[in-house]
Structure 1
């Protein structure tokens, strides 16, 4: 199982990725992380009791890596709950680099099988609640 760490000024979130449920999404996120794509990007969208979202190179939610990836929605872990990492998109099969992390299961069931869940924060859940809009992703470390 692939694991990683999302480093922020508010703390570190340790993540276990859903290698079996979302192999292509995990591979894409790992590739971008290892290339340093996410280093210094901000969490541009923070909605309390819903999600924190980052991964836009423009810092606004308008950009991506220059390509799109398909959604992977059929695995056993395709439901949104506290700590789940999911691929943001502007419509089916338009994800790329933007991702969000869920605050809770409340208000997220409509995302199930619409956005690809590709991992979960296993340690550092309290960091999710401390992130504010504009806070930066210092780096993402992949342990494979």
Structure 2
């Protein structure tokens, strides 16, 4: 059994001490901001987030909002939001954005510089990515947005 006073145990076969692994503290969350990617640690066993990457949309002292990337569903956008289908990237399906509020949807798209005209229902997140209000008419957004994805939850 290693002596807690002497630090981490030596690596097998090398005799060198392992560097201590820093614990995550609340202060580390200061680096989280809209546009950040949060990557699940390999040891995370919660099946909801195991192996996931979350794109942060908003972060404040009251909480963090983000969507899980890389989880397309089988639900086609044309079946639920037909007006948005032509703006969505292939394969034109909803993406599972997370386990919370699965009856709501968030829409993200890239808007080329210098930016879209005002009044189109767009809210900047970071680096040219915008949240899009799905209650607006999608027609005026044609040519203004690219890479549009809709996330449920």
Could you state the TM-score of these two structures normalised by the residue count of structure 1?
0.24
Q: Which has the larger radius of gyration?
A: 2
Could you state the TM-score of these two structures normalised by the residue count of structure 2?
0.23
